[in-house]
Amino acid sequence: MRDIHQLVRENILLLEPYRSARDEYSGDRHHIFLDANENPFESGYNRYPDPYQKKLKSTISEWKNIDAEHIFLGNGSDEIIDLLIRIFCYPGKDKIMSLNPSYGMYKVSADINHVQLVNFNLDKNFEFDTEELLEKASDNNIKILFICSPNNPSGNAFEIDKITKVCEKFRGIIVVDEAYSDFSEKGSMMNFIHHYQNLVVMQTLSKAMGAAALRLGMAFTSTDIIRLLNKVKPPYNINSATQTLAMELIKNRAKNRDEIRKIKEHRKMLEVRLKAFDSVLEVYPSDANFLLVKVDDADQMYQFLLGKNIVVRNRNKAYGCSNCLRITIGNSQENEQLLDAFYVYSKTKEPLPISKSE
């Protein structure tokens, strides 16, 4: 691994970040604040939010059992992906690498920043060979490697041993996107951030925690990378409502554990029952809250489900996913309606034309 500072764009290293009023002075509410041109009449939201989200980070620190200085918060994980690309990649020169198929935002963020995305194609079980991956990642211009685990859209999580082997050898920044790790038994890379200075683990409130609308993404990483993220982020990227609501949500997370348990039970049930249909060719093993399902004709099935007011994700065009739909695990009633629709589809489908012998 190279020194983090050798990987950073020089302009970012030299950047003098914007200093907000609350950077210059952050006293408590007994102070008279005449420094930020806010409206003095109390509304509950007339003041700018805490730019470093100290209270929320201390709540997350307890929850995840990690020091607050290793936590960065973004306006969704999507903001963190963009910030990392901007910190480490020179537009028009550097590259990022991701597994293929994987989450679409890596490519969109790379494209926006004029950074090339190099795909590493997964095998037919959506696995990778560590040596082959490292070989392809050895290009010096590949600054960031994104590993989504559990992977979207395939659903499988990678073995921790495999990911740590990649961390041992790759000399750029490794981002492990754990948006779905709460649904997985395979463990988290969180514990390794103290071991690998170039490792960033991303999690989010958008999936298992049931708070996609709040837009809160978390990155856990070395203090060197935290400092860079703080330099580049918009000063008030997490609004006050999100900071307050996220703290409440995390404090009341007992209810959430129950939801996750139910979703995992439903996943098992759906897997078994979907496999029973002739039109379903394969249900891939999932460590996430969705199933990748190979059907006889994904485009036709997608339209059929839409006709029944059921929206799934058609992944037919994604690498290695021909005729695959990505189906999120719903509540009991939603899952039953989905299964009903599959049942009706199987019954009404045109039988194959039987060639008559003359």
Ligand X SMILES: *Cc1c(COP(=O)(O)O)cnc(C)c1O
Residues near ligand X (CB under 6 A) are 76-78, 103, 148, 152, 177, 179, 204, 206-207, 212, 217
- Rounded Cα distance, 14 and 309, in Å: 53
Q: How far is CA 104 from CA 124, 133, 148, in A?
A: 19, 19, 11
- Rounded Cα distance, 33 and 52, in Å: 18
Residue 325 pairs with which residues in a beta bridge? 293, 314
> In terms of Cα–Cα distance, which of 199, 254, 218 is closest to 61?
218
- Residue 51 vs 74, nearer CB to ligand X: 74
Q: Nearest distance from residue 177's CB to ligand X, in Å?
A: 5
- Rounded Cα distance, 289 and 66, in Å: 25
- Residue 53 vs 77, nearer CB to ligand X: 77
Q: Nearest distance from residue 345's CB to ligand X, in Å?
A: 27
> In terms of Cα–Cα distance, which of 217, 100, 102, 81 is closest to 151?
102
Q: Nearest distance from residue 11's CB to ligand X, in Å?
A: 26
- Residue 152 vs 314, nearer CB to ligand X: 152
Q: Nearest distance from residue 157's CB to ligand X, in Å?
A: 12
- Residue 148 vs 250, nearer CB to ligand X: 148
Triad 131, 96, 284: Cα angle to 5°? 60
DSSP 115: -
Q: Nearest distance from residue 355's CB to ligand X, in Å?
A: 46
- Residue 53 vs 152, nearer CB to ligand X: 152
Token pair 């390794």 in the structure block, residue: 192
CB 85 within 8 A of CB 77: no
CB 223 within 8 A of CB 70: yes
Q: Nearest distance from residue 315's CB to ligand X, in Å?
A: 12
**Residue at shortest CB range from ligand X:** 76
- Residue 212 vs 276, nearer CB to ligand X: 212
R_g over Cα of the chain: 23
Q: Nearest distance from residue 92's CB to ligand X, in Å?
A: 26
- Residue 151 vs 335, nearer CB to ligand X: 151
CA atoms 310, 313, 317, 321: torsion sign: negative
